[in-house]
């Protein structure tokens, strides 16, 4: 514990000395740096912040040093995240490569794939998107029909993917494809890495309820993919897919606890919009709702620490982590609903001079959080998984 406390002190001192003041506020979508072949920084300070974090291996702090990381253990990485949140530091690099593909490659990729792709992700040279869901394969993902035919030294891929986040701005896609149509659903699937610049790949953006177009439909028309881009074993990509989903659900479970996305916190929102008397929120219902949210956030944080400790000591069953994706994403939705309720009529601002940037951001983010309980497995499906695997209830799936 003394070593961790010393690490916390050193991290805090370094962040305070090296994070530019302009990088200590919530980043708008336009200010977030996702890397990639055509990426640009929103400002000189954003570039400085990224380069400083990259030099320490803190764009991917838990990855091994030889692949661009810092080799931090889970407890150290959590301390870094919490100290960044405490100071308001922006993430230096966003990306599905950082959060999902990289950890999956560390687990399932061969050495050549790790050497080729992991440093490029850590350094922000390539941006990745995810090709899982299809128009007729959402919650039942294993029914996917995008196929990859064996042509000797390469595959030929045909089909389409839906809800491909930021595919129109990505360089590569990690993709589930069917390589054996005669096998049972899960057994005939493989995991491929595909360069989006390959002839035959095309993308159509989809406009969302919050006004953005972060999701796309991606089409594959006779796309040639080299055999060396197969991750894991042929026809056993479902194993890789499940491993990657663990990292996606872990990320989403941590969203409410360690990721700064809101223009202001619920407590700051209460201070700005609600009447107080004798140092207390006058409205007892709002006071109770805010207290419940803060207690839930504290419980989520403590549970994340318990999961890390169980993983470190090898004493956990894994059941707790199954619950956290559901709890984290549902609480994130409740957080924005609470802030909109506090703001009253100012919480429904979409545009115009009557609303400031934080009010407009809150309304739009509240709509976007609805996607969190769908992505990575819907809350309904997740509850079934919890019932079966964590609570061992019969007959729910």
| CA distances in angstroms from 142 to 109, 187, 236, 292, 322, listed in the order given | 21, 9, 12, 38, 20
Annotation marks residue 116 as catalytic: no
Long-range CB contact pairs, 177-181, < 8 A, 24+: 177/144, 177/146, 177/147, 177/148, 177/237, 178/144, 178/145, 178/146, 178/147, 178/148, 179/147, 179/148, 179/150, 179/155, 179/234, 179/235, 179/237, 180/235, 181/147
Q: Which of 248, 254, 331, 359 is catalytic?
A: 248
Close Cβ partners of 391 (under 8 Å, ≥ 6 residues apart): none
Residue positions annotated with a catalytic role? 248
């Amino acid at each position: 514990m003394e070593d961790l406390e010393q690490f916390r002190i050193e991290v805090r001192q370094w962040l305070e000395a090296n994070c530019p003041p302009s990088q200590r506020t919530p980043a708008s979508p336009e200010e977030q740096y996702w890397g990639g072949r055509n990426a640009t920084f929103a400002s000189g300070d954003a570039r400085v912040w990224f380069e400083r974090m990259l030099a320490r291996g803190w764009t991917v702090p838990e990855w091994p040093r030889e692949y661009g990381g810092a080799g931090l253990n889970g407890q150290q990485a959590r301390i870094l995240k919490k100290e960044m949140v405490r100071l308001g530091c922006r993430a230096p690099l966003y990306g599905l490569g950082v959060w999902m593909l990289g950890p999956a490659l560390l687990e399932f990729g061969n050495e050549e794939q790790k050497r080729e792709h992991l440093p490029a992700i850590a350094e922000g040279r390539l941006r990745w998107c995810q090709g899982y869901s299809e128009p007729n394969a959402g919650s039942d993902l294993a029914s996917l029909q995008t196929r990859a035919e064996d042509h000797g030294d390469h595959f030929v891929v045909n089909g389409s993917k839906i809800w491909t986040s930021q595919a129109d701005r990505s360089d590569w896609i990690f993709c589930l494809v069917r390589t054996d149509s005669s096998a049972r659903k899960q057994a005939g699937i493989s995991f491929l890495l595909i360069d989006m610049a390959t002839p035959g790949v095309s993308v159509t953006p989809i406009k969302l309820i919050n006004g953005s177009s972060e999701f796309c439909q991606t089409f594959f028309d006779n796309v040639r993919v080299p055999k060396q881009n197969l991750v894991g074993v042929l026809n056993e990509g479902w194993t890789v897919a499940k491993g990657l989903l663990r990292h996606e659900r872990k990320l989403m479970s941590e969203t409410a606890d360690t990721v700064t996305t809101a223009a202001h916190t619920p407590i700051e929102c209460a201070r700005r919009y609600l009447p107080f008397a004798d140092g207390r929120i006058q409205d007892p219902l709002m006071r109770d709702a805010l207290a419940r949210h803060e207690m839930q956030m504290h419980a989520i944080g403590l549970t994340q620490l318990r999961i890390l400790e169980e993983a470190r000591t090898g004493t956990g069953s894994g059941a707790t982590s199954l619950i956290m994706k559901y709890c984290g994403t549902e609480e994130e939705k409740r957080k924005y609903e609470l802030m909109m309720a506090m703001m009253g009529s100012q919480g429904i601002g979409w545009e115009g001079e009557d609303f400031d940037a934080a009010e407009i951001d809150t309304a739009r983010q509240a709509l976007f959080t609805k996607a969190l309980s769908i992505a990575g497995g819907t809350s309904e499906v997740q509850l079934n998984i919890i019932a079966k695997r964590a609570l061992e209830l019969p007959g729910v799936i």
